[in-house]
Structure 1
Amino acid sequence: MTIVDIAKESGYSVSTVSRVLNHRQDVSPEAKKKIMEIVKAHNFVPNTNAKRLKQNTSRNIYVLVKGTSNMLFANITEEIQSVVGQTDYALNITYLDEDDNIGSETMRICRERKPLGIIFLGGRRDDFSEDFSSLSVPCVIVTSSAADWGVEGLSSVSIDDEKAGETVVDYLIQNGHTRIAEIGANLEFSQTAILRHNGYLKSLKKNGITPDERYYERARFSSYDSAYQAMERLLDKDIEITAVYAVSDVMAIGAIRAILDRGLRVPEDISITGFDGSKLAQYYNPKIVSIRQPHKDMAERSVEMLFRMIDLHKPACHEMIPFELTDGESVKKGGKQ
């Protein structure tokens, strides 16, 4: 009997079970009662030697984070640390540049560190091709769906990025914007960038707007600097822009700075939307309209999937988590623009 088994039988998450076993107060009385009934019924004894076990490399779990400026990844990583920290697994975090090869780094870690499982934050289908065909370590990728990748042993937790992109561009159009630019990520490095761009195109076409390549700009990395430079390139073009769809909150903030440095106003002159629903976007001035990804749910589900694959030998599974469009002050509302 493990905490994964208890979570499965009780219907509560692994993190909730962990909080009950660690006598945390942030658990409902109903959840605590049901979980403790199962604990007593199975004579489950929590492991009190977690610190000693964490020194054993055979209990290692790795998190590979692709990119160093992604605020969503930072939030998810923090939640994963919180959940895993209440178990007898040791967590190791490795950061990769956006253009680094995930496959070769994963094979190195598996060869040298012998992890029990790996969680990936970011990545694209090409990262999980030939090298992963012989990989027997359970893996979960977060923020990208691997449902149609055909990689055995790779689960995934994500939102519907294409639908989310379509939703936020629909919002701009519903508020009167028809000359909408996009600041996107490098399509060579990011599967989510492709899906979010597809959502942008789908919304334009659905609403009778002909896509124009002059309105696209790609940032090499998802960073403030790259987005700032991309926005500058858009402003230097001989086109009229009333709104910008940025595919991350980081990019939206970088773009806003470029707009303000040109003596323009947000949203009076140019409206802007973000993506990810980060806390910074919520507290930024102006508050940024964004797509909120439930980072806590995504983190908990990814850990639960990995534990089930490790402890219960369950097959890979794929789950999409609902997203939410958050309102803000960064979009000018009104008639056709």
Structure 2
Amino acid sequence: MDIRDIARLSGYSLGTVSRVLNDNPGVSDRARERVLQVVRDVGYEPNTNARHLKMRGRSSSYAIIVKGMQNMLFTDIIEKAEGLFAQADEEVRVHFVDEDADEAARAAHLDKVRHPKGFLFLGGTPRHFIEGLSEISVPCVLLTNTAADWGLDTLSSFTTDDASAAESVIDYLWEMGHCRIGVIGGNWVSEVSARRLEGVERAFRARGVTFDRERSYEPCRFSMDEGYQATMRLLARSGDLTAIFALGDVIALGALRAISDQGYRVPADISLVGFDGLDVSQYCVPRLSTVRQDTGLLARRGVEALMAAVEGRGTPAHEFVPFRLLRRESVLALRM
């Protein structure tokens, strides 16, 4: 009997069961009671080796450091990562930091007071890692950003090729007859959004056109409200756009409402494309065309690399995980 059996008998995912057994937040009372009832019924006992390590004063758990509080993509990755740790009979604790906070400094503090086996970072700022990674004494792996050019030979990273993915969106819109394209989300300072914007500009240059940042781009944070406000600002100064590319699905959801509130329809008047491939994107009306990041593969690569590093196996690696452009209902082909 192991945690996978508890998940099967309770009807909940491995990630949910792991959170219940580790007494982590983010679980409904109903789910917690159901899992604990199954645990009592079958007489399941958590890993005794973990308890032994705790008695010796050394933590037996891994730590996930999450950059930002409202990132739905990260929520999906967390769930999958927790399940993978649970399959390996490993405990994991999740720690959130603000979008503007220093995630490396937070990890260095946790390293000193909690002594985790290793850190899995969801999101990260280059400067924070370059300045603070040396203060962390355990292995670290970064997801959703690449550290390939940071000069850190102890940090692995796994992410989507953001520039190529964004370029594929513009290629798609152009193929559908759109050349007056607006972009919302992120900023030129954030490395992830900057790479996506570079992909946008690259796609325009390939057609002999310069992307007009001043007129056609509106920065914002990754939230529905920010996406709504950014779209309102963009439409106010660029009312002739036929398509909008949102650098995140949550931004696109806000944009969808803003477009409607301005009296336009998606896609009849303005086509809309997101980025991330969140589950919610297939349930909005119309279904959102988007870039799907492979969160399952991202989680697997990250967890496997981190556990291998803790066990002294393998060397740091940097890898792009494949993406898919999902062509759904939110883009209209213009008559050529």
What TM-score range do you get, normalising by the shorter chain? Answer: 0.7 to 0.9
Contact 1:103 1:127 in 2 (8 A): yes
Looking at structure 2, the residues matched to 295 and 177 of structure 1 have their Cα atoms a distance apart, in angstroms, of 30
Report the equivalent of 1:194.
194
Question: Given the two structures, how large is their TM-score scaled by the length of structure 2?
Answer: 0.82
Report the equivalent of 1:240.
240
Matched residue of 2:276: which SS?
A: coil
Report the equivalent of 1:128.
129
What displacement does 1:191 show? Answer: 1.6
Distance 1:76 1:238, change over 3 A: closer
Report the equivalent of 2:282.
282
Matched residue of 2:185: which SS?
A: strand
What displacement does 1:203 show? Answer: 0.7
Letter in 2 for 1:248: G
Report the equivalent of 1:230.
230
Distance 1:151 1:22, change over 3 A: farther
Deviates more, 1:130-139 or 1:140-149: 130-139
Distance 1:52 1:236, change over 3 A: same
Report the equivalent of 1:95.
96
Q: How does 1:229-268 map to 2 (within 5 A)?
A: 229-268=229-268
Looking at structure 2, the residues matched to 23 and 269 of structure 1 have their Cα atoms a distance apart, in angstroms, of 46
Contact 1:136 1:153 in 2 (8 A): no
Contact 1:184 1:197 in 2 (8 A): no
Answer yes or no: is 1:52 the counterpart of 2:44.
no
Contact 1:184 1:246 in 2 (8 A): yes
Please, which runs of 5 or more residues in structure 1 have no aligned partner? 1-17, 26-46
Letter in 1 for 2:67: K
Contact 1:133 1:151 in 2 (8 A): no
Distance 1:54 1:231, change over 3 A: farther
Report the equivalent of 1:318.
318
Structure 1 segments, 4+ long, off by >6 Å, are 18-25
Deviates more, 1:91-100 or 1:313-322: 313-322
Please, which runs of 5 or more residues in structure 2 have no aligned partner? 10-45
Report the equivalent of 1:31.
none
Letter in 1 for 2:51: R
Report the equivalent of 1:77.
78
Report the equivalent of 2:204.
204
Letter in 2 for 1:87: A
Contact 1:185 1:193 in 2 (8 A): yes
Letter in 2 for 1:52: R
Looking at structure 1, the residues matched to 230 and 217 of structure 2 have their Cα atoms a distance apart, in angstroms, of 9
Q: Deviations over 1:50-103 (max 9, x none)?
A: 663585652121101111221111100000111112334321101111111112
Matched residue of 2:69: which SS?
A: coil
Q: Deviations over 1:116-148 (max 9, x none)?
A: 100010113122112113433111111111112
Matched residue of 1:85: which SS?
A: helix
Looking at structure 1, the residues matched to 316 and 5 of structure 2 have their Cα atoms a distance apart, in angstroms, of 27
Q: Deviations over 1:236-284 (max 9, x none)?
A: 1154111001001000111111010111100111111000111100111
Letter in 1 for 2:168: T
Question: Given the two structures, how large is their TM-score scaled by the length of structure 1?
Answer: 0.82
Answer yes or no: is 1:183 the counterpart of 2:205.
no
Contact 1:51 1:88 in 2 (8 A): no
Identity between Structure 1 and Structure 2 (%): 39
Q: Cα RMSD over matched residues?
A: 2.3
Looking at structure 2, the residues matched to 265 and 175 of structure 1 have their Cα atoms a distance apart, in angstroms, of 17
Report the equivalent of 1:217.
218
Report the equivalent of 2:36.
none
